Structure 1
Amino acid sequence: MKIEQIYTGCLAQGAYYIVSNGEAAIIDPLRETQPYIERLEKDNVTLKYIFETHFHADFVSGHLDLSRKTKAPIVYGPTAKPEFEAIIAEDNQVFKIGNITIKVLHTPGHTLESSSFLLIDEKGKETALFSGDTLFLGDVGRPDLAQKAASMTQEELAGLLYDSLYQKILPLDDDITVYPAHGAGSACGKNMQKETVDSLGNQKKTNYALNQKDKESFIKAVTDGLLPPPAYFGMNVAMNKKGYDSFDEVLSKGLRALSPDEFEEMAEHSGALMLDVRNNEDFAKGFVPQSINIGLNGDFAPWVGALIVDVKQPILLITNENEEEETVTRLSRVGFDNVLGFLKGGFEEWKNSGKETDFVKRISAQQLEDEIKIKKAKIIDVRKESEYNAEHVNEAYSKPLAYINNWIHQINPEEHFYLHCAGGYRSMMAASILQARGYRNFTEIEGGFNEISKTGLPKSDFICQSKV
């Protein structure tokens, strides 16, 4: 028997590849199927089942393409109602893969159809739990994402989650290995550990949600401090439930190379958003006017979802050379399938063709300190609220990037301000959005608060983020 966790850092997502005696199962696959096909061919095994723990909100699963290519059936837990052919398992139903067994445990709470999959090895021992978004390491799945579909409050769903955990999962043996669907950084939980695998026994000791005195205290603990879910989540759920275009078709359309003239014409007539995925340092020096920067070298896909929101939005890409395919792939993982093409030769080709360019006014943290000494300054901090609360420049305004569409209209275009995040990745996104919407009276700080903290600028007292 072999269990492989296929972890994708930018989504903080874990898919699982399980092999036993010539047969395989895959749990919660990502959108692109080729890596799984290659594993199956290398191991010379047949994919018997594709298990889905629930209808995912934060990414588009590869279940449909994988099933089409391998003929393996898709398996959901009880109450799931996909709009395509699938096996809807009963609670405690078992599935054989080679010499092992996968047992379905219906564990509603995160969503109504949420299920965990218990692996029973060749000797009949319960060995591993693929817990989906029901149980994370250090946390549990947030119970507010399915309210609308379920016509239930988040408190009612939290009560279901309590029953699932305390009746189905906590009675299992301590030595069972827990393989969750997500780790730290995912918006599907609020307190996840950085580790991606743990024993159930250790989670029983350390996970706050598994150590509540009663159901009422559990509900309060897991619903306290939940931030609004990213707006694209509902669209991803719909795609996972209803179906989507083949990834191969999406990739083929997105890899259409456009000359600067073609790119410019398509941008003017298609309503496409120009997305520049270069790093913030290169973008600051020069970019296609009106383009938005979301760097590929960070939490790219989640930020695309949070800032662009509409998965049907037409997109034109500006990338570094040979990054086009990776960009289209990572966009498709969160459902942004409507990529119309990319700028052939990238920004350099655009610049060399003599077309208009733009730039972001950027200064160092030391320059910021020097300028503030001689004039009154307004500073906008676009980090998360928890980062701001931990430590910030005195009198800086907290305006998290995730909510820029809410606060951008409060900006006075006549009043100059300084803009920063932690290291420059998020503040450049904010800068590009501001300039695309006509706000230009600002200066962005290179290196963000990481560099500002080294200056003599007055700052609040540091508070450990784990306590805020």
Structure 2
Amino acid sequence: MLIQSFFVPGLAIASYLIGDEKSGTAAVVDPTRDVDKFIDFASAHGLHIRHILETHVHADFVCGSRELKSRLKDKPVIHCSGCNGDEWTQPFADDHVREGDSIDLGDLRLEFLHVPGHTPEHIAIQVFDRTRSDQLPWLMFTGDFLFVGDVGRPDLLGEEAQQELAHELYQSLFEKTAALPDFTEIFPAHGAGSLCGKAIGSRQSSTLGFERRFNKSLQQQNESTWVRSLLDQMPLAPAYFKRLKRINRNGADLIGPQLPGQRRWSAKQIRDRICEECLVVDVRPKEAFAAAHIPDSINIPLGENLPTWAGWVLPYDRPTLLVVDDPDDAAKVTTHLLRVGFDDVRGYLDGGIESWETSGYELASLNTVSVHQLDQLMRNRSNLTILDVRTEKEWDGGHIDGAIHIHGGILQDHLDDVPKDRPVSVICGSGYRASIAASFLKRSGFDDVTNVVGGMTAWQAAKLPTV
């Protein structure tokens, strides 16, 4: 048996390839849209991908099953859940599986188990190695049902569904899988950083026995008490999750072997395209963006968290043009955006921001202040608004007295809560999210906006007061 994990930092997605070397057959579990890595790995190890498996309808990334099948000349069979009705039955699947169904990969048997709770149709995939035991599963791909140190959140389908799903999750965890042996290894679809759980651990695999002993959500207690505890302080779910649910329910559009978004645009073409309602996304570091940028562009610095924040703040109905430091970054950014469903990336500014500058077009800048400067401003200006765009948990852990709190991901829905006739200083943990929020405020007509560099990390390090 050969198992390979493919982990995407930031979104914290874990896809898997499992293969039987003797027969040369393999299956891919929960693939992302950037499918070359699966194809290349299989080819390098003499394996042929014959099956593609989806544990559930994903909410946080666009699934790559159709893309992978297309790139392999439609040879693999796509298996998706056929449990719990038609609403979440994915029509693009070749095989809609139910509990007890199985597929063979040489000496391996992959058997499906219905484990509702995170979603109604969710399945887990038990793996039996017949050379070792045909009766007991060696490992299980758990999708978003069970994580290392956590369990899947049941609230993504809305308030009406979350109570029923939470109780179903309890039954799945404590009754449906009760007979599985402690030594069964678990391989979940996410690691630390994913918003599909409350407190997912940093390790990417574990065993059922270890989780039963040390995972707080697997400690047996009264079902009603367990449900209340699970739903307490659930992190805010991005609005784009609902969109990706619909895309994955019906099947995403195919990308093809050529990555989009690699066309170079001159400064003049970019300027003209802005008039045609294209959105300019500047992925340079926050310091470079602050110094000079195209007016009305949105700053999401390139890094692991770019796709998450793109999903939070960018509109899906606008073509996108990129400003990058290095032309090679355009491919990285496009791949990030495709993972969360931004398919209309048109290209990038040829020559970078320097070409815009030398073309004589208007430039904008973003004010920045240190935490010590902010402290002084607070003493001298009574009309200063401090906008904290961190999470609820971060805010509760300590914030600047008098600040207003709006999670950066939902700022666009709460612009009326930010005074427009006052200077606004935006603060987050380090300045990354504040730069995103500040760029969005400037685009929305706020004139006097400042990013607090170093954020609350620097504020607390300087031993400035918090409440």
Measured against the shorter chain, the TM-score band is over 0.9
1:41 aligned partner, one-letter code: S
The within-5 A match list for 1:26-45 is 26-45=28-47
Contact 2:81 2:89 in 1 (8 A): no
1:261 equivalent in structure 2:
268
The equivalent of 1:123 in structure 2 is 132
Could you tell me whether the CA contact under 8 Å between 1:250 and 1:339 is conserved in 2?
no
Give the 5 Å matches for 1:326-337.
326-337=332-343
Where does 1:16-415 land on structure 2 (aligned, <5 Å)? 16-20=16-20, 21=22, 22-70=24-72, 71-79=75-83, 81-121=89-129, 122-124=131-133, 125-147=136-158, 153-248=161-256, 251-252=259-260, 254-269=261-276, 271-308=277-314, 310-321=315-326, 322-376=328-382, 377-415=384-422
Question: Which TM-score applies when normalising by structure 2?
Answer: 0.93
> Is the CA contact 1:27–1:53 (under 8 Å) kept in the aligned structure 2?
yes
Query: C-alpha displacement at 1:389, in angstroms?
Result: 1.2
Q: Percent identity?
A: 32
Q: Please report the TM-score for the alignment, with normalisation by the length of structure 1.
A: 0.93
SS at match of 2:138: strand
Q: Give, in angstroms, the shift of residue 311 of structure 1.
A: 3.1
Query: 1:348-403 CA deviation, whole Å, 9 max, x = no partner?
Result: 21112111110101122222233334443432211112112112222322222122
Matched residue SS, 1:283: helix
Cα offset, 1:147, TM superposition: 4.7
CA distance in structure 1 between the aligned counterparts of 2:178 and 2:212, rounded to whole angstroms = 7
Q: Secondary structure in 1 aligned to 2:325? A: coil
Write out per-residue CA displacement over residues 282-302 of structure 1, whole angstroms, 9 at most, x where no aligned residue.
111111000001111241111
Look up the equivalent residue of 2:330 and give its one-letter code. Answer: E
Does the residue aligned with 1:170 lie in a helix, a strand or coil? coil
**Cα deviations by residue, 1:91-149 (Å, 9 ceiling, x for unpaired):** 1112111211111011111112100001112312411111001111222111122359x
User: Per the alignment, do residues 374 and 456 of structure 1 end up closer, same or farther by CA in structure 2, a change over 3 Å counting?
Assistant: farther
Against the structure 1 CA distance between its residues 142 and 247, is the aligned structure 2 distance closer, same or farther, given a 3 Å change threshold? Answer: same
Structure 2 Cα separation of the partners of residues 272 and 409 of structure 1: 25
SS of 2:52's equivalent in the other structure is strand
Distance 1:242 1:374 in 2: 56
Deviations 1:403-434 (A, max 9, x none): 20232222222222322111110000011001
CA distance in 1, matches of 2:459, 2:13: 33
Q: Deviations over 1:55-91 (max 9, x none)?
A: 1010001100111222101111233522224211121
Please identify, of 29-38 and 409-418, the stretch whose mean Cα deviation from structure 2 is larger.
409-418
Instruction: Give 1:156 shift.
Output: 0.8
Counterpart Cα distance in 2 of 1:65 and 1:455? 50
User: Could you report, residue by residue, the CA deviation over 1:230-274 in whole angstroms, capped at 9, with x for unpaired residues?
Assistant: 11112212222212222237723x2221111111111111x2211
- Pick closer, same or farther for the CA change 1:82–1:264 going to 2, 3 Å: same
Aligned to 1:11: 11
Structure 1: distance between partners of 2:393 and 2:236? 15
SS at match of 1:284: helix
Give, in whole Å, the separation in 1 of the partners of 2:12 and 2:79. 23
Asked if the contact 1:78/1:106 (under 8 Å) is kept, the reply is no
Structure 1, unmatched stretches of 5+, are 461-468
Which amino acid in structure 2 is aligned with residue 130 of structure 1? F
Whichever residue aligns with residue 435 of structure 2, its letter is M
CA contact (8 A) 1:112 1:146 kept: no
2:453 is equivalent to residue 446 of structure 1: yes
Q: What letter matches 1:365 in structure 2? A: V
Deviation of 1:435 after TM superposition, in Å, equals 0.5
Task: Give the counterpart letter for 1:52 in structure 2.
Answer: E
CA–CA distance in structure 2, aligned partners of residues 242 and 77 of structure 1: 13
Q: 5+ unaligned residues in a row in structure 2: which ranges?
A: none
Structure 2: distance between partners of 1:411 and 1:343 = 32
One-letter amino acid of the counterpart of residue 343, structure 2: D
Instruction: Give deviations 1:199-245, integer Å, cap 9, x for gaps.
Output: 11111012222214132222222222234421111221222221222
Work out the number of aligned pairs and report it. 454
> What's the RMSD between the two structures over aligned residues?
1.8
Write the letter of the residue equivalent to 1:117.
I
Contact in 2 for aligned 1:232/1:311 (Cα 8 Å): no
Q: Distance in 2 between matches of 1:397 and 1:410?
A: 9
Matched, 1:435 2:442: yes
Contact 2:79 2:93 in 1 (8 A): no
Partner Cα separation in structure 2 for residue 176 and residue 51 of structure 1: 20
In structure 1, give the amino acid aligned to 2:368. R
Instruction: Please state whether the residue corresponding to 1:153 is helix, strand or coil.
Output: helix
Cα distance in 2 for residues equivalent to 1:292 and 1:87: 42
The secondary structure found in structure 2 opposite 1:251 is coil
Q: By how many angstroms is 1:34 displaced?
A: 0.6
Amino acid corresponding to residue 88 of structure 1 in structure 2: H
